[in-house]
Amino acid sequence: MSKILVTGGTGYIGSHTVVELFNAGYEVVIVDDLSNSDVKILSQIEKITGKRPAFVKLDLCEEKEVIAFAKQHQDIAGIIHFAAFKAVGESVKQPLKYYRNNFYSLINILTAFNSNIKLVFSSSCTVYGQPDKLPVTETADVKKAESPYGNTKQIAEEILQETCSVCPSLEVIVLRYFNPVGAHGTALIGELPNGVPQNLVPFITQSAIGKRAAITVYGDDYNTPDGSAIRDYIHVVDLAKAHVSAIKRLAEKVGQNYEVFNIGTGKGSSVLEIINAFEQTTGEKLDYTIGKRREGDIEQTFGDVTMANEILGWKAELDINEMMNSAWNWEKYLRDNPF
Ligand code: NAD
Ligand code: WQD
């Protein structure tokens, strides 16, 4: 049984991925400093899978500690590196916080494992900015980043690509996620937003449960069918499964040691369509007003996911209704079982 190191494994996408790794028969060790997650997630994973992941509380920016960890865990077959800060707005206000955390953690892992490791890296569709052509393929231009956060993803990809080009023992798959939403079907794990959610779906669920006021739709004057902005929303459980597919591919000898895949559904949905889907599937009425465009937002994006479908053998299976329903069930679970 292969052992996989999941950094950031108590976080939103990491916790769902740990569940899918267990389901696929892997052994897991999580490293997380709990800077944006709760240790209780370990018990929640145990409730879902019957297995408690091994856990080491560690700040990956601490080089000596990461090196010591790697020495003690020489049986690790692969790493999924989620650990990073991800709040776009905060990164504009505190760029060094983001450059420090997102780069030091990656560089320390590569150093500690002597660039002799199979690694899946969490990147983002944010690297494409507003694509010139839709659906956007992996070969599309990377645009100037809109935020320090986005820049950390672009530069991290370059760090990995350049290191791979001189270290054949380093094998990397970069996954560029579109917009992850939803929660596990059991409603035992999901997203734990810090403060007022900046992202659409957690704001919708918190508004519906009465924790927030009305939703503001950021702009209805875009050049889209209903005027609101379009994104490729992907269910977090589907996204988690893409990581298992990537780990399996890394276990095969594929002849190239750096690959990039879009992970989305390939289908765009507008903000108003998401609001409508939420109301239809949950039966809850949402209060919303139309506001101005949000600074830094793009008009529309959705991914070409042919490469992930054909090469990784992975395909998104869950639709918008399942995304909304699971997000809503998780919000209700949190109300009844506060963390
Ligand atoms: P999250 O904040 O829920 O999870 C990240 C985890 O990493 C947290 O548990 C946090 O405590 C941990 N962490 C952060 N810095 C650390 C450090 N120095 N040492 C140890 N642990 C540390 O975020 P998420 O939504 O699960 O995102 C996971 C990854 O996916 C991130 O790299 C993020 O940038 C990327 N991503 C997220 C989205 C999204 O919309 N959620 C989209 C594209 C890419
Ligand atoms: C989606 C749509 C908003 C809130 C961000 C990051 C990106 C990636 C995913 C990490 C947009 C609109 C939102 C609200 C609204 N993360 N909206 N009212 O901006 O596409 O992407 O998360 O890599 O890097 O930038 O996601 O969920 O914030 O917004 O109208 O209260 O919903 O304008 O059109 P976004 P989001």
| Closest residue CA from atom 21 of ligand 1 | 32
- The pTM score is 0.99
Q: Catalytic residue at 149?
A: yes
Residue-level pLDDT at 115: 86
| Closest residue CA from atom 21 of ligand 2 | 179
Sign, CA torsion 308/311/314/316: positive
Residue 59 dihedral angles phi and psi, to the nearest 5°: -90, 115
The answer to whether the CB of 32 is under 6 A from ligand 1 is yes
Annotated active-site residue in 149, 177, 222, 333: 149
Phi/psi-derived region of residue 114, left when phi > 0, alpha when psi is between -120 and 50, beta in every other case: left
Give which of 247, 284, 301, 208 is closest to 79, Cα–Cα.
247
Output Rg (C-alpha) for the chain, integer angstroms. Answer: 19
Give which of 177, 141, 223 is closest to 14, Cα–Cα.
177
Nearest bound ligand to the CA of residue 296: 2
Q: Which residues contact 64 (CB under 8 A, 6 or more apart)?
A: none
CA of 86 to the centre of ligand 1 (A): 6
- pLDDT by 10s per residue, the chain, length 339: 799 999 999 999 999 999 999 999 999 999 999 999 999 999 999 999 999 999 999 999 999 999 999 999 999 999 999 999 999 999 999 999 999 999 999 999 999 999 899 999 999 999 999 999 999 999 999 999 999 999 999 999 999 999 999 999 999 999 999 999 999 999 999 999 999 999 999 999 999 999 999 999 999 999 999 999 999 999 999 999 999 999 999 999 778 999 999 999 999 999 999 999 999 999 999 999 999 999 999 999 999 999 999 999 999 999 999 999 999 999 999 999 998
**Ligand 1 atom closest to the CA of 35, numbered from 1:** 11
Tokens of 230: 């379009």
